[in-house]
Amino acid sequence: MIDLSFLSNKLAWLAVIPVLGVLVFWHELGHFLAALWMKVKVEEFGFGYPPRMATLFERKGIKFTLNWLPLGGFVRMVGEETGFDTEGSLTSKKPYQRAIVLLAGPLMNLILAPILYAVVFSSGVPYPLGKVEITTVVAGSPAEQAGILAGDQIVMVGDVRPTTTDAVRETIVQYRGRLMPIIVQRGDQTYSLSLTPRTVEETPTDQGAAGVGIQRALVTASGFGQAVTMGIQRSGEVVIMMITGLGELLRNVIAPAPDAPPMGGVAGPVGIARITGELARQGLLPLIELTAFLSLNFFIINLLPLPALDGGRLVFVLLEAIRRGKRIPPEREALVHLVGMMGLLALMLVISYFDLAAWWSGAPLFPAQ
């Protein structure tokens, strides 16, 4: 494993440049390839962001350029901002063709994540299975009396097939003082057992009601094929987690609960740079895992129905399909996206201000610290 611990505290945040560079470039590559497939006229494929440093070469009317800001790349297609009536422009294509071009970028981010996770898992990093494993059994506890052993994997507890430790704990609490069936897997054998979790009064202060320690079962990939499968599973878990978190965020914005904790977890470029720097000092694998996580974040964020994002542009494609080919004038759509981009940039500036303020004040990087 490559050691990145030589990065100093002052320079580690620069690791955000290759991380975001890979993600944005991969995203734009998806748009580029889909545009060629749909025969959309592409004017420029840029490595990095303007101002332009040099034109590397030109092929079939497409300029491949090198730009000064090393944060990914961009694709300039005819019909995005000007040339709406030009033959081969994006706006001249059918709705399904435009949708393919717009979806290609986020989908590339979705494809990249499991590949990166597979690299991490194939390097020996364990992956938590959707099972709960018993790590310790306290002597004299209900679990020991029931015949449960450390290393057993819980198949069923009560009437629940648990995939998280919280599910096991909640079920045990519900069964305090009464008989609880439990099915465990021990090697190749499955055992149906039962125990009675202790009541609050019966439970020692340093133990739980059943007298066991639990964790999610871990597995190490035996080959790259299994690592890919684990990478796909992990990507699915992260996507569900992100969508759930986004839903909770929107619900708290629309109708905040009186006792809801303050919202957090929103970071701009500065916050991402701090997180990237911290993980870069820990080594290459944590940095790759963060890149996979951010790639899924790119996938979801870009599909939000907001102006200037791919999801916002897809809304106009959907409206055209619903209206049976009657589309909103491209000039008006471009204006909406321009205003949306200005709004997003303003939001990024505000978030970056708070990120910088937290950095300068020495606030912990992660709220739990």
Question: Which residues are marked as active site?
Answer: 28
Ramachandran area for residue 47 (φ above 0: left; ψ -120 to 50: alpha; else beta):
beta
- Half-sphere exposure of 218 toward its Cβ, with a 13 Å CA cutoff? 9
Dihedral angle, C-alpha 263, 266, 271, 275, nearest 10 °: 90
Structure tokens at 20: 């975001």
- DSSP characters for 53-114? EEEEEEETTEEEEEEEEEEEEEEEETTSSS-TTSTT-GGGS-HHHHHHHHHHHHHHHHHHHH
| 366 backbone dihedrals φ, ψ, rounded to 5° | -110, 135
Contacts of residues 192-197 at CB distance under 8 Å and 24 or more positions apart, as own/partner, are: 193/146, 193/147, 193/148, 194/146, 195/142, 195/143, 195/145, 195/146, 195/148, 196/142, 197/142, 197/172, 197/173
User: Which tokens go with 1?
Assistant: 């494993």
Judge whether 65 and 47 are in contact, CB under 8 Å: yes
The Cα 103–Cα 108 span in angstroms is 9
Query: 14: which DSSP letter?
Result: G
In angstroms, rounded to a whole number, what is the distance separating the alpha carbons of residues 46 and 295?
A: 20
